[in-house]
Amino acid sequence: MGCCASEEIMNKIKKSSVSPASLTIAARRDKRRIYESERSSSRVNKSIRKKVKLTKSKEEANKEKKEGKTYSVGGF
C-alpha cells in the first residue's frame, strides 16, 4: 500500500477531498520508492553490498590483528 492508496483511504474516512497537488506528491513518492526498491534488489547492487561488507570486515580484522583488542565490553 503506497502513499496514493493511503491518501484515498484517509479521504474516504474523513469524507473530504484531497488536493490534486497532494495526490501528485504522493504519486511521485510512490514512484521513487518503487525505483529505489528495484534498484536495491538488483543483482549488481547486492553483489556490491556484499563486496563492501567483505572489504570492511577484512579491514577490521587486519586492524585488530595489527593493534590488538583496543576495547571490549567489561574488559577492565
| Tens-digit pLDDT profile for residues 7-58 | 777 777 887 777 888 888 888 998 999 999 999 899 999 999 999 999 999 9
Q: How sure is the predictor about 67, in pLDDT bands with cuts at 50, 70 and 90?
A: confident
Among candidate residues 55, 37, 58, 35, the one with its CA nearest the CA of residue 47? 55
Cell numbers at residue 18, please?
484531497
Residue appearing with cell numbers 474516512: 13
Interior angle at CA 42, CA 34 and CA 23, nearest 5? 5
Three cell numbers at 28? 511521485
Q: How many CB atoms lie within 10 A of CB 18?
A: 14
pLDDT at 76: 56
pLDDT of residue 46: 92
